[in-house]
Amino acid sequence: MKKQFALIAAGLAIISGCADKNKTDMRPAFNAEKVKVENGVLTPEILWSFGRIGNIKVSPDHKKILYTVTWPDIEKNSFNTDLFMSNIDGTDKKRIVPSFKKSWTLSLSFGIKKKATDDGENENFSISDVNWRPDGKKITFISNKPGSKQLFEMLPDGKEVVQITDIPDGIKGYKYAPNMEHLLIVRDIKLDETPAEKYSDLPKINARIEDDLMYRHWDHWHDYKYSHIYVTSYKPDKLITDATDIMEGERYDTPLQPFGGMEQITWTPDSRGIAYTCKKMTGKNYALSTNSDIYLYNIDTKITKNLTEGMPGYDKNPVFSPDGLRMAWESMPRDGYEADKNRLMIKDLETGKVIDYTANLDQDIHNPVWNLMGDALFFISNHHATEDIYRINLPGGDIHKITEGVHNYTSVIPAGGQLIATRMSMNMPAEIFAVNPIDGTAANISKVNLPILNKLTMGEVEKRWITTTDNKKMLTWVIYPPNFDPRKKYPALLYCQGGPQNSVSQFWSYRWNFQMMAANDYIVVAPNRRGLPGFGREWTEQISGDYGGQNMQDYLTAIDTLAKEPFVDEENLGAVGASYGGFSVYWLAGNHDNRFSAFISHCGVFNQDMMYTTTEEMFFVNWDLGGPYWEKPDKRYDFSPHLFVDKWDTPILVIHGGKDFRIPYTQGMAAFNAAQLRGIPSKFLFFPEENHWVLSPQNGILWQREFFAWLNKWLKEGEN
């Protein structure tokens, strides 16, 4: 269930899960000043009005920043994306709109040329993967304006838009070689036969025929295509219509499905090689393993070499030192364990020597990036439920924490004498900050959402250390309602985290938003229970095989501790959560000893037997449950929530998405049906077109309305 980058905006995706819905058009830029806020209260509609920053790129001369801001359009149930450019300190901010006002010639993929005109009025088109050309003279981006997604270039002011590629069926990503002599593009290639092709006399059949695993992934079916890298010569004045597949005939994907982006593919600094992340397995082997590797393709010899051969876990996201002599990347040591320690590895490409520079750091690292001199790297790491920027000096390997505070940094880019980073907290969506690399002081240079945030009253966020049943200290966030009055009594919500190895850190969510819960006059109790990173590997790994054990005691300890406070209404407590948090809610429903008066489970596991044989990435259930239920390893399946339904006695709201293939929606239906058959007040909120998350604006608002309607009914209105 765990994917750490699911909480973080991917570098090249405008917004996770809905990039295809984002639209950039000729409309006026969204004006955050016009968002209405009454009495400083956060509402679902306001929550879904915040701009979402992404695609941050620093110009080659380190003087300018490009970034996108995606705004939900609630009325149209879609997204609009604005492109901005500013100085490196945030000054001189300008909106950049690609200008297609002049006539332009489109060479269609089947060879017929068509004259098209565009007056720029009321024209919608998508824009994504914005970047600087290596020489800094042009801005590059992907747009679907020709009808399929193609690569374009334009001047930094948005003028002189030129189409660069016209590839059949479009492209998904691209990167220029540093010397600009070549271009790599990522596109899908169909290699497998469909049932309709196999049975050509049945042209209207709608069926799938499977004979191996991994036929679907998270929220989509395998569509007989594979994501490959193509390379071609680049000339600014020549339309690219074809390219060479460097993975010809291989039934593998790069980037990794389903969340990998262009951070998994890069050029070597000398422009002669392409390094890419790939798990070169298919079917059952793919489903059972996390063993991805980093491959290096030489564009001169056409030879591909495995740079991480013999390393059994995830190896991904290669970054080369400026001189090209070393490669750093993220690596996990064990096969089949997606929550393993994420290490910083560096390989000397001349000697082949590999060093784990985080061997003595009991933390995960993410998003490593070289400094301009090549004698240090910066990375993000979680410690005690906050994510900060660290620096590792080479060759010695001493590590220094640069930033400190109650926040999450999610990305970092060296830019001259400072760092450009994204930062969020429970009180603020992601913004761009300029960070001093010496003392960690930071300044918000994007200020996208300040016009809305300045009108809101946020609740206080408190850090508490609570003693667990086995006498350990557990960090628990307590979020209080705005204008909190300690003389009053408030209902409280126990927040159960997903993953099960995702930190309850200072994240901002558009569903599990703690300030949204606090604004509805609930005290939120969010423990970093056993299994969550940021507290050492022993703490993280304890949960595997012990789903109904110590971490459940941690939950109960947290809510029992807060329930003793005079301002908490101990007669009106609720428990809510998604994914593994949804499993936790189902388990607590049969094991809570009358503590709770309401439950909400989103996309949770109800029956672990069902989960094992209906999920898709088998390595997850194999590791955390120890193998198939028919082998009953260590009786780990005895924790399955469905075994405790006879003890259910509390109202429960069940939420699930129809396209959730990690935890199929029948899990939610089974839980709801069981509650109905038991005569327990219950409701099923089903989203046929959503997946493990709820990504569209109107569905997101509906989610919030139903969420609080349920809690208010059973925790505030005295109907329990």
Name the percent of the chain lying above pLDDT 90. Answer: 88
Q: Which two tokens stand for residue 645?
A: 């339904």
For residue 369, the SS3 value is strand
pLDDT of residue 101: 57
In the residue annotation, 579 being an active-site residue is answered as yes
pLDDT of residue 1: 54
Average pLDDT, stretch 399-413?
A: 98
The single-letter DSSP state of residue 637 is G
Between CA 610 and CA 612 the distance in angstroms is 6
Place of tokens 């995706």: 13
C-alpha pair distances (Å), 77 with each of 80, 249, 404, 516, 691: 10, 40, 38, 21, 16
pLDDT, greater one: 14 or 30? 30
How many Cα atoms within 13 Å fall on the side-chain side of residue 531?
29
Q: Do 476 and 527 form a contact (C-beta atoms < 8 A)?
A: yes
Please state the separation of Cα 147 from the chain's center in Å: 28
pLDDT of residue 10: 30
Between CA 137 and CA 260 the distance in angstroms is 28
Between CA 567 and CA 523 the distance in angstroms is 9
pLDDT of residue 121: 39
Average pLDDT, stretch 269-295?
A: 98
Which residues 6+ apart lie within 8 Å of 38 measured at CB? Answer: none
Instruction: Choose, from 217, 228, 602, 692, the residue flagged as catalytic.
Output: 692
Average pLDDT, stretch 415-436?
A: 97
pLDDT tens-digit map of 304-323: 999 999 999 999 999 999 99
Place of tokens 């603020």: 428
123 pLDDT higher than 70: no
In the residue annotation, 119 being an active-site residue is answered as no
User: Confidence class of residue 14 from pLDDT cuts 50, 70 and 90?
Assistant: very low
pLDDT tens-digit map of 560-583: 999 999 999 999 999 999 999 999
pLDDT of residue 719: 44
C-alpha pair distances (Å), 707 with each of 208, 295, 596, 629: 36, 46, 16, 33
Instruction: Choose, from 340, 660, 682, 696, the residue flagged as catalytic.
Output: 660
28 pLDDT higher than 90: no
pLDDT tens-digit map of 160-201: 999 999 999 999 999 999 999 999 999 999 999 999 999 999
Q: Do 276 and 256 form a contact (C-beta atoms < 8 A)?
A: no
The single-letter DSSP state of residue 87 is E
pLDDT, greater one: 20 or 174? 174
Place of tokens 């293939």: 661
Q: How many CB atoms lie within 10 A of CB 483?
A: 11
pLDDT of residue 30: 80
Between CA 464 and CA 561 the distance in angstroms is 10
pLDDT of residue 718: 62
Judging by DSSP bridges, how do beta strands 490-496 and 568-578 pair with one another? parallel
Closest CA to 536 of 611, 598, 490, 473: 473
Between CA 187 and CA 182 the distance in angstroms is 16
119 pLDDT higher than 60: no
Instruction: Choose, from 16, 143, 331, 579, the residue flagged as catalytic.
Output: 579
Which residues 6+ apart lie within 8 Å of 301 measured at CB? Answer: none
Q: Which two tokens stand for residue 364?
A: 């995960």
Which residues 6+ apart lie within 8 Å of 31 measured at CB? Answer: none
Angle at 192 between CA 188 and CA 195, to 5 degrees: 125
Q: Which two tokens stand for residue 113?
A: 């040329």
Query: Which of these ranges, 46-55, 110-119, 201-210, has the smallest mean pLDDT?
Result: 110-119
Q: At what angle do helices 580-589 and 550-563 cross, to 10 degrees?
A: 70
Q: Do 421 and 432 form a contact (C-beta atoms < 8 A)?
A: yes
635 pLDDT higher than 90: no
Which residues 6+ apart lie within 8 Å of 444 measured at CB? Answer: 90, 431, 432, 433, 450
CA dihedral 588, 592, 595, 601 (to 10 degrees): 10
**How high does pLDDT run on average in the chain?**
92
In the residue annotation, 692 being an active-site residue is answered as yes
**Is the peptide bond preceding residue 258 cis, with omega within 30 degrees of 0?**
yes
Between CA 60 and CA 632 the distance in angstroms is 57
Between CA 557 and CA 629 the distance in angstroms is 30
Average pLDDT, stretch 516-525?
A: 98
Q: How many CB atoms lie within 10 A of CB 608?
A: 23
Closest CA to 169 of 115, 224, 207: 224
Instruction: Please report which helix (H) or strand (E) contains residue 365, including its range.
Output: strand 365-370
Please state the separation of Cα 451 from the chain's center in Å: 26
pLDDT tens-digit map of 96-117: 999 875 434 333 333 333 333 3
Q: Which two tokens stand for residue 76?
A: 């149209």
Average pLDDT, stretch 435-443?
A: 97
Measured over the CA atoms of residue 223, residue 227, residue 228 and residue 230, the dihedral's sign is positive
Q: Which two tokens stand for residue 128?
A: 């994504």
Q: Could you please report the per-residue DSSP string of 541-577?
A: HTTTT-TTTHHHHHHHHHHHHHHTSTTEEEEEEEEEE
C-alpha pair distances (Å), 204 with each of 93, 199, 207: 53, 10, 10
Between CA 534 and CA 4 the distance in angstroms is 13
pLDDT of residue 55: 94
667 pLDDT higher than 90: yes
Q: Do 437 and 390 form a contact (C-beta atoms < 8 A)?
A: no
18 pLDDT higher than 60: no
pLDDT, greater one: 10 or 494? 494
C-alpha pair distances (Å), 542 with each of 154, 592, 611: 52, 22, 21
User: Confidence class of residue 416 from pLDDT cuts 50, 70 and 90?
Assistant: confident
270 pLDDT higher than 50: yes
Q: Do 224 and 215 form a contact (C-beta atoms < 8 A)?
A: no
Average pLDDT, stretch 345-374?
A: 97
